[in-house]
Amino acid sequence: MVKANQLANALLDDVFKSDLKEEFISFKLLAQEFDAFNTDD
């Protein structure tokens, strides 16, 4: 199941990069901020 999730995530990344580039970049930056915040605990 892990491989299927990885492939699905890669496909979604490709779609978002091409069709929703600005929104995707903003989302990735926000996700990285949350990741940094959550790992500081």
Return d(Cα 33, Cα 6) in angstroms, integer: 22
Give the confidence band of 41 by pLDDT, cuts at 50, 70, 90: low
pLDDT tens by residue, 11-32:
888 887 788 888 888 888 888 8
Q: How far apart are CA 28 and CA 13, in angstroms?
A: 10
| pLDDT computed for residue 40 by the predictor | 60
Residue 1, helix vs strand vs coil: coil
